[in-house]
Structure 1
Amino acid sequence: MTKEKYKEIPRFEDSALNDQEHELVLLNDDVHTFDYVIDALIKICDHTPQQATQCTLLIHYKGSCDVKKGDIKTLRPLRRALIEKELNAKIV
């Protein structure tokens, strides 16, 4: 039996990519109430009630809103928390 050597593929970890500013975007889902989304934005993204209300209106009428900006490592836990509340969120 011959042993074949497999070259390990390195994980792509570009530090420049991680340092770039990204946006956490919340998408409209036509399921949750305004109050539910507002409450989630206040608790998870540290929005003021006014910020959360404005974002929720933009999400409702425009389909999406960038609710937070920052580096990817900061935004990932926020995205997970929004998804756990069954909200549609993505990082761009």
Structure 2
Amino acid sequence: MTTISNMRPFHEEEIEVLELEKTSENFDLVVFNDDVNTFDHVINTLIEICEHSSEQAEQCTLIIHYKGQCTVKSGNFEKLIPMRQAICNRGISAEIL
């Protein structure tokens, strides 16, 4: 039989846990595939609105087509808002996540 004097005391140890938070610097502008817009329209939109190179815009457009979506820009939420609006104004589906 174990007596109380032989037992080691139990103490809780505080552990600091870092939580990842969405800051204003790490949002993604995601463009979604549809059956309406042409490759050229999406490519030109990404070049004009997101300042992509033609190669980058083409690659993103292929990813959008085959994967259903692609992050086309990351950054500050306030910077992405007008980009999303401009993309949507051209009939292309986009969200900030």
* TM range, smaller chain: 0.7 to 0.9
Say yes or no: does 1:56 pair with 2:55.
no
Say yes or no: does 1:69 pair with 2:86.
no
Q: 1:26, 1:66 → 2: CA distance?
A: 6
Larger helix percent: 1
Q: 2:66, 2:24 → 1: CA distance?
A: 32
- The equivalences for 1:34-45 within 5 A come to 34-45=39-50
Larger radius of gyration: 2
Residue in 2 that maps onto 1:80? 85
TM-score normalized by the length of structure 2: 0.76
* Percent of aligned pairs with the same amino acid: 48
**Which range is displaced more, 18-27 or 37-46?**
18-27
- Give how far 1:17 is off: 5.1
Task: State the aligned residue count.
Answer: 77
Residue in 2 that maps onto 1:4? none
Can you list the C-alpha shifts for 1:59-83, whole angstroms capped at 9, x where unaligned?
A: 0000000000001000000000000
Q: Gaps (5+ residues) in structure 1?
A: 1-15
| Alignment check: 8 A CA contact 1:18 1:73 kept | no
Q: Secondary structure at the residue paired with 1:19?
A: coil
Match of 1:31 among 36, 45, 49: 36
Q: 1:91, 1:64 → 2: CA distance?
A: 12
